[in-house]
Chains A and B, each alone.
Chain A
Amino acid sequence: MNALRSEWGAIGNLRFLISSIGSVSPNASSLGADVYNIFCVGMEAYACIEQDGYSASFIYRPPIYDGPLALNVSVGYKFAEVPRITNDLWVINLRATLA
Chain B
Amino acid sequence: MRRWTGLALFMFLAAPTLAKLDGTVYLSQGLTYNDGGHLFAQPGDMSFRFHEASINANWRVSSQWRLAGQMLYRQAGNIADSNTDIDYLFAEYRFPVWSGNVAAAAGRNKMDMGFYNASRDSLFSRPSILLPQSIYQEFGRDAALRNDGLKFSGAHFIGEQSLSWNATYGLMALNDSFADIFLGFHQGVEFDDTESLLLTLGWEYRTWLQLKASYIDTGFSVDDPRPMRDATYDIERWIVGLRGEYQRWQWSAEYGEMQVDGELTEVGFPFENTSQGGYVQTRYYLLDQLSVLARYDLYWGNKDDKGGDRFEPRGEPNWQAWSRASSLGLSWQFFDDWQLSAEWHRMDGTAVYPGSMANLSGQERISNLYMLQLAYRWNWALFH
- A, B: real partners: no
Which B residues fall within an 8 A CB radius of A?
none
